[in-house]
Amino acid sequence: MAGAAARPERDGASIGAVLERLRPEFPDVTISKIRFLESEGLVSPERTPSGYRRFTEADVARLRFVLAAQRDQYLPLRVIREQLDNGRPPARAAEPEPVDPLPEGARLPRAEVLARAGVGDDLLSALEEYGLLTADRDGHYDGGAVSIARTAASLAAYGIEPRHLRAFRAAAEREVGLVEQVVAPLYRQRDPAARGRADEVARDLADLSVDLHALLVRAGLRRLTGT
Query: Which domains are assigned to the chain?
Result: 10-94 (1.10.1660.10), 102-160 (no CATH), 164-227 (no CATH)
The average confidence (pLDDT) of the chain is 82
CB 94 within 8 A of CB 64: yes
Q: Residue 63 pLDDT > 80, yes or no?
A: yes
CB contact set of 114 (below 8 Å; sequence gap of 6+): 120, 121, 124, 149
Confidence of residue 91 (pLDDT cuts 50, 70, 90): very low
- Mean pLDDT over residues 24-49, rounded? 87
Question: What's CA 152's distance to the chain center, in Å?
Answer: 16
pTM of the model: 0.55
Q: Residue 94 pLDDT > 50, yes or no?
A: no
CB contact set of 28 (below 8 Å; sequence gap of 6+): 203
- Mean pLDDT over residues 174-186, rounded? 89
